[in-house]
Amino acid sequence: MAKNEDGKIGVVAGLVRSAFLVNAVYAEASRERGLTPQQGQLLCVLMAQPYGMGELGTMLGLAKSSMTGLVDRTVRNGLVRREPDPRDTRAVRVALTPRGQDVAEEFYAETCRRIDRLPDGLSVAERETLAGLLGRVVLDNEVPVVFMEQA
């Protein structure tokens, strides 16, 4: 994807390349904790509350079989557990274990720290503009909450 004549990249290239930057942060922070990036994402999602398998699949963009495999591996690592869904006796919810909560909080804090450094070259006003514009894109496209707002 080439730059425009003025040396700037376009919206598509900017969003795609930004996604690669964020994915690289997830990959590095996950690897350092013995996780896959998908496990790191799962832990971050579950920080807010337990979710059903279907909800998690939708949020993480995974097919049912992929979601089941991801949860199975994360259960084996002792980071999440399956528990009965109080609203549907046929279903289960996935929740963090105490160890999973600790790993999730550590992973989340480190991931936030690293992502927050990505726009270090921007002024405070530029960062606010970037946050506002990205927020609109996310809200306009009804992207599920897969990462809590940094405290």
CATH number of the domain that residue 90 is part of: 1.10.10.10
Regions in the chain scoring below 70 on pLDDT: 1-6, 146-151
Running DSSP on this structure, what letter comes out for residue 57?
H
Whether the CB-CB separation of 104 and 96 falls below 8 Å is answered with: yes
Q: Give pLDDT tens digits for 14-51.
A: 999 999 999 999 999 999 999 999 999 999 999 989 99
Position 1 scores a pLDDT of: 45
Query: Is residue 17 included in any domain, yes or no?
Result: yes
Query: Is residue 128 included in any domain, yes or no?
Result: no
Position 71 scores a pLDDT of: 96
Query: Is residue 63 included in any domain, yes or no?
Result: yes
Query: Is residue 31 included in any domain, yes or no?
Result: yes
Range of the domain at 30: 11-114
Q: Could you give the number of structural domains in the chain?
A: 1
Query: Is residue 150 included in any domain, yes or no?
Result: no
Position 88 scores a pLDDT of: 83
Query: Is residue 39 included in any domain, yes or no?
Result: yes
Query: Is residue 93 included in any domain, yes or no?
Result: yes
Whether the CB-CB separation of 147 and 107 falls below 8 Å is answered with: no
Query: Is residue 104 included in any domain, yes or no?
Result: yes
Q: Tell me the three state secondary structure of residue 119.
A: coil
**pTM of this prediction?**
0.82
Position 47 scores a pLDDT of: 93
The two tokens of residue 125 are 């006003």
